[in-house]
Amino acid sequence: MNKEKNVVDYVVPWVRESESYSDKHLDLAWQHPELLRLMSNENPLPPPESVLRAVERAARMGNLYPDTGRALRQKLGEAVGLTAENVILGNGSTDVLDFILRTFVAPGDEVIISVPTFSMYEARARVNGGVPVLVPMIPPDYRWDIEGIINAVSPKTKLIFLCSPNNPTGNMIPEADLRRVLEEGIPTVLDEAYYELETEPRSFAYLIKEYPNLIINRTFSKAFGLAGLRVGYALGSREVIEHLSRVKIPWNVSLVALAAALAAVDDKKDLERKRRLILEGRRYLVEEVNKIPGLRAFPSEGNFVLVDASGSGLTAREIVDILLEQNIFIRPMAVHHLGSGFVRITVGTPEQNQRCVEALRKLVESRQ
């Protein structure tokens, strides 16, 4: 036995050098149920009765392994003019992101990421041994720097991540810009986690037939409100999906989660109810926050609103901590590669939105 080495010395270097993704904010929220959970882009409405009934039926068969979710994959594929063979399911969209990275990226390979964006892309790229190449978006409105993305492509580039609507900026990538990136031929993940919450939902899934290097990633956590059940999926060419299937862990989506997602897809009335709530809520947040001196709320196509508070004399950390004392939980955006003056507010119920706006107004006014 080699007693000279610590067991950690056997950990692969790229894992030793990476950091764990911090989800302590969720621990805090669960420990304090009195908090308004406006920090994680969750849907404020619980699953409908149709989903709960499906969950109960599935739970009664919990002694059985799930299938590959073919019925769900068929519905998801048909909705965008594809087939079940063009769909792969994951234990949340982050699971899908991870096995996409493990399929395409070897240690030392480069992954291009436009920032600010969802920090999970960078975190999972690093823990899989990839080298994130960060391309800043163009302020003040944070447009994609397409020239910068194309210029960042090198022989080591194996994957490009784009998010539309983008978290946390809330804007959508123009089709012409997406096509320019796809023309490079690099496998490109377009994260459409918030697609159903766009004012006029428009997916780029139809481009998969033209660009086999396009992979679209989606989730049931946002519009459908199933974050706690963990269901995500990717759309892609049959060849890409077949290779992803070699990497993903079998039975990665539980029988209960599959049943919940299938019921949610069928309950179009509930989805529209949730959509109306989010669209009205984000309109309210943008309009009301922009009335507060020193704050700038960005237009959004997601279930969140980005706020630049740098003109208020307060840092994002100060705002978050002071609102937390009032049981209102929002997030600073430094981890998303934004400055110290940016916060993100998840769209909640009308009452939650009003409480948040009023707290922000009083806080800013008290400092002027």
- If asked whether residues 54 and 175 sit together in one domain, one would say yes
Segment 141-200, tens digit of pLDDT: 999 999 999 999 999 999 999 999 999 999 999 999 999 999 999 999 999 999 999 999
Domain hosting 38: range is: 7-44+269-366
pLDDT given for residue 1 in this prediction: 55
Q: Same domain, yes or no, for 83 and 201?
A: yes
Give me the residues of the chain with pLDDT under 70, please. 1-3
Claim to verify: residue 143 and residue 189 sit in the same structural domain: yes
Within this chain, do residues 319 and 273 fall inside the same structural domain, yes or no?
yes
**Phi (first) and psi of residue 273, to 5 degrees:** -60, -45
Both 177 and 248 in one domain: the answer is yes
- Is 2 a domain residue? no
Query: Helix, strand, or coil here: 125?
Result: helix
Q: How many CA atoms lie within 13 A of 115 on its CB side?
A: 20
Within a domain: 1? no
Boundary (domain end) residue, out of 267, 283, 309: 267
pLDDT of 199 reads: 97
**Whole-model pTM?**
0.94
Place of tokens 């922009």: 290
Does 65 lie in the same domain as 29? no
Beta strand 110-115 with 131-136: parallel, antiparallel or unpaired? parallel
Predicted pLDDT of residue 18: 81
What pLDDT score does 14 carry?
Answer: 87
Number of domains in the chain: 2
Residues 131 and 248 in one domain: yes
Distance CA 303, CA 242 (A): 32
103 and 171 part of one domain: yes
What DSSP state is assigned to residue 138? B
Q: Residue 26 has what pLDDT?
A: 87
